[in-house]
Amino acid sequence: MAPLPTWPPALTDAQQADLAFQSATYALANGFTLLPVPPKGERVPDIPTQVIAAPLSLLPTPFPRPAYVQAKSIQRLYNALYARVALDWEFLDGIMEQVAPVDDFQAELWNRWKAIRDEIKVTQPIQLGIFRSDYLLHEHGNYVGDKAHIKQVEFNTIAASFGALSQKASEMHRYLSEQTNYFHAHAQLNNPNAFVDNHSLEEISAGLAEGFNAYGNCDAVVLFVVQEGERNVFDQRALEYQLLKRHQIQVVRLTFAQIAQRGKLDDDKMFWLDNPLGKDALEVAVVYYRAAYTPADYTTSAEWDTRVLLERATAIKCPSMALQLAGAKKVQQVLAAPGVLEDMLLARARPDVGFGAGPGSLGQPDAAALRDTWTGLWPLDSSEQGQKALQLAREHPERFVLKPQREGGGNNIYRENIPPYLAHLEEEDKARPGTAPRREAYILMELIEPPTGLHNLLVRGGEGKPRLADVVSELGVYGVALFGGDVAPVNREAGTLLRTKGRESDEGGVAIGISSIDSPLLV
């Protein structure tokens, strides 16, 4: 397989300006947008009157076709794995017993789930997962024979965003190719087979519809639980429009505070919402969380009470509290330990999710395929492995990233910042005698080293002017899984997302303008 091409191809200033104009107008016309950052001291308006194009790349970014195919092909294996984790209470309890003493957020989620899980196993055993598995190309193992290697960054089980905008990015790049021929700057940009056929918007909305149909009441609604002041609203609204247009399913968007005001359980544990615009209350069939993954979403115990109220309902949760716990970084690290993945997939009997990931049952090649995507992962506890990891983190921090049990980005500690941060945690421990060391709330992960020398023209949201950047691209693969109870199981890959950022930034974040929503150009 040929190496990645020199990128981007040469374009004149006039050609770049034309592409910037074409991409901006396409984005604004097709909902490839965000709400702008409000002026300092103001909040996002209740009725928006302005939008900006989402951060984007003017050209798709080259990505090895074998690596893209590999990432898509193993998504069903990952769906099956994390569905099994969510159903294995003993396994989750064993992990959370280690995490809870040093992580108040995970402890609260785990303890609230434990208090009601026997009830919800009877009330609603069906679970819906909309997942995203994120990967980087690894330079040191990038080409082995004809196979390009990907390494997993993380697996997301809650609020896996940008499914709609990622499809729009793919469509935008194909449009630019058809409209401008990219000025014949590179042959691959005029090759229709190099552009991915991405249907993440349709596939994710279809997954929500499958959960809705499993509930069994066509007069019910899907509840989107959202954050107040959400700027990424159009990514979410596109899913709502798709649900109504293709599946005749209505959506209600509410924050935790609004749900507390309008929602209630009846004696049969069905969840109802008062309807201020009509006389009939609305029955909720599916609860889809685009919030609830960060401590900032739970400012008081009232938000936790609302989360438990929803969990106790007959509505199908996406995700359940168990499935959210399954996405903890500690779970990722424990699964990577010798024999644990194999035990989860192959060895002792575990609760059945109702599907394998291919013909027949899961086997040793499936476990090997997953392990092939993993980099080094270690605990930071008092075990032999934990002590080895602590030594590595102090002596060779340039090789590692420190990860807490958090979603949403911006929480990791990188490279040379690791030793002083560990020292800071040790100082905090001195004020907490008799408690577990704070470092045990983290895992140590070997850094993935993406290929160097790849550039692209990126446009920050609302700016319109492209900037040439040395880039790193992270590929996300969506998955849909419906499992548990008597439901006909669903397990499929559901499209892809490419986020591209300047190499100078370790963290991502589309909404804050660090990453751009991109699409792969397969080479």
Q: Catalytic positions, please?
A: 132, 154, 156, 161, 329, 403, 407-408, 499
**Rounded-to-integer distance, Cα 300 and Cα 452, Å:** 45
Residue 116 tokens read as: 């009601």
CA-based nearest residue to 456, from 401, 424, 487, 500: 500
| Helical axes 364-371 vs 75-87, angle rounded to 10° | 100
Residue 255 tokens read as: 């924050």
**Rounded-to-integer distance, Cα 325 and Cα 330, Å:** 10
Handedness of CA 191, 196, 201, 207 (dihedral sign): positive
Amino acid (1-letter code) at residue 394:
R
CA-based nearest residue to 467, from 10, 1, 16: 16
Question: To 5 degrees, how large is the angle CA 403–CA 409–CA 413?
Answer: 35
Cα–Cα distances in angstroms (integers) from residue 122 to residues 110, 117, 216, 312, 486, in the given order:
19, 9, 17, 10, 12
Residue 4 tokens read as: 């990645």
Amino acid (1-letter code) at residue 488:
A
**Rounded-to-integer distance, Cα 356 and Cα 491, Å:** 8
**490-502 and 467-483 beta bridge pairing:** antiparallel
Contact call for residues 485 and 26 (beta carbons, < 8 A): no
CA-based nearest residue to 480, from 237, 88, 106, 199: 199
Contact call for residues 320 and 286 (beta carbons, < 8 A): no
Residues making up the binding site for ATP: 154, 329, 403-412, 414, 445-448, 474, 501, 507
How far does Cα 83 stand from its chain's mean position? 15
| Helical axes 200-215 vs 163-180, angle rounded to 10° | 150
Three-state DSSP class for 245? helix
Residues making up the binding site for substrate: 132, 158-161, 230-232, 236, 290-293, 499, 510-511
Question: In 124-226, where does DSSP find H-type helix?
Answer: 163-180, 200-215
**Rounded-to-integer distance, Cα 281 and Cα 323, Å:** 29
Contact call for residues 54 and 32 (beta carbons, < 8 A): yes
**Rounded-to-integer distance, Cα 351 and Cα 360, Å:** 17
C-beta atoms surrounding 321 within 10 Å: 23
Cα-trace Rg, the chain: 23
Residue 262 burial (C-beta neighbours within 10 Å; 0-12, 13-18, 19+): middle
Residues making up the binding site for Mg(2+): 154, 156, 407
Contact call for residues 209 and 237 (beta carbons, < 8 A): no
**Rounded-to-integer distance, Cα 80 and Cα 6, Å:** 38
Residues making up the binding site: 132, 154, 156, 158-161, 230-232, 236, 290-293, 329, 403-412, 414, 445-448, 474, 499, 501, 507, 510-511
